[in-house]
Amino acid sequence: MWGGRFAGGPSAIMREINASIPFDKVLWRQDIAASKAHAAMLAAQGIVSADDAAAISSGLDAIAAEYAAHGVPENWDLEDIHMVTESRLAELIGAAAGRLHTARSRNDQVATDFKLWVREACLSADAALGGLQVALVTRAGEHAGSIMPGFTHLQTAQPVTLGHHLMAYYEMLGRDRSRFVDAHSRASQCPLGAAALAGTGFPIDRKATAQALGFAMPTRNSLDSVSDRDFALDYLTAAAQCALHLSRLAEELILWASQPFGFITLPDSLSTGSSIMPQKKNPDAAELVRGHSGRIIGALTSLMVTMKGLPLAYSKDMQDDKVPVFEAAGLLELCLAAMTGMIDGATFRTGRMRAAAELGYATATDLADWLVRAANVPFREAHHITGTAVKLAESRGCALDALTLDDLQAIDARIDNRVFAALSVESSVAARASYGGTAPEQVSARVAEARVALGLE
């Protein structure tokens, strides 16, 4: 490729550092599609003959069949998927292959191929997230009234329902889906035809190639077209945020599956054992989801650092854009599949959850709220009275509702027998009936809305 400018070939070191075919070969489908669209446009514009365009298209179809059947050959001397394909095309159809690169550069070619791939990755992530949302909503519907402790600071705070807890993650994933949809939308402009950096003198039709490849329109600035990797950063940003949410859920499953909690039994198919301790059942899939989040976040950081100081337009640094994106996409796909399997196959030990909700004085806030509602006590005073009651119960090693009326009236005479109806975990949960609250009726309503949104109803 460089014969006209260079007297000798690259050194072994240059050959190795320069070649991207080991990783960019995954773009072969996008490269074939973009090349076919470009050839068809060249023929329509009279830039190449119809016969040459037909030969190019037929040759590209033959190459696609070869790649699908046998994979892409890794010829490091040809550097990348674009030159490997063009070289093979020349072997198949001869000199007409040389016309394919008219009015384009590898700069706009790779930007187009990569953007096509990222757009597809956004749609794949959105679909996988939808599958995990279905799993969460299904299990939340089963457990709209199953009581468990709610935590702040990992300390028992107030009783909630398991369905409410699971639906919190449904909401998080909904925001993740919106980020991938937004990333896909922002990547709707086609770089093909920007050429190396300045556009081309040939009378090309960029709208035609954009439409043929499923883009909304061509990019509006040739310099930006070949130097932009915002679409990749958008994908990685969405992937990193999604990975954070998956990691939080994974951490909770890990805690819940531990013997001190005992809230959940994870499916055997997504757990492992110990090489020395036969009793162990380790939540390795959840731990790997938690661990992979770091690698996905690292992929975002890697590409951001690569791009942060690059002047316009294209620089070879940008060849390092693909590996972090490909790695993050593969990891995210695995994480979503694993998490969906864990939620689908988990056994929730609701009796253990309910028992835990009764510990830690989780209904203390309900006593304070009762004092406000029934005895017209200012909340700050009610808070102090409740704290005194908790201290007494703690000293006796009993629950709040195990204190007698005499005990409570000794703390504050305004307390009467009606208070005990508010101190059970069932009453506590049922009382949180504000919109978005944990009351079973509210959880069931949110589940019903989610099922409609997901197309399940």
DSSP letters, 436-457, are T-SSHHHHHHHHHHHHHHTT--
Q: What is the C-alpha to C-alpha distance for residues 312 and 332, in angstroms, rounded to an integer?
A: 31
Closest CA to 190 of 235, 238, 226: 226
Please give the backbone phi and psi of residue 375, each rounded to the nearest 5 degrees, phi first.
-115, 0
Helix axes 28-44, 50-70, angle to 10 degrees: 170
Q: What is the C-alpha to C-alpha distance for residues 79 and 376, in angstroms, rounded to an integer?
A: 79
Asked if residues 434 and 428 have their Cβ atoms less than 8 Å apart, the reply is: no
383 part of the active site: no
Q: Exactly one of 58, 185, 258, 274 is catalytic; which is it?
A: 274
Q: What is the C-alpha to C-alpha distance for residues 445 and 261, in angstroms, rounded to an integer?
A: 29
Q: What is the C-alpha to C-alpha distance for residues 25 and 39, in angstroms, rounded to an integer?
A: 21
Q: Exactly one of 70, 153, 275, 434 is catalytic; which is it?
A: 153
Closest CA to 285 of 246, 236, 250: 250
Q: What is the C-alpha to C-alpha distance for residues 176 and 452, in angstroms, rounded to an integer?
A: 19
CA distances from 451 to 52, 93, 166, 290, 434 (A): 53, 54, 14, 28, 21
Catalogue the long-range contacts made by 74-80 (C-beta closer than 8 Å, 24 or more residues apart).
74/21, 74/22, 74/25, 75/21, 76/15, 76/16, 76/19, 76/21, 77/15, 78/1, 78/21, 79/1, 79/18, 79/19, 79/20, 79/21, 80/19, 80/20, 80/21, 80/24, 80/106, 80/110
274 part of the active site: yes
Give catalytic residues, as residue numbers. 153, 274
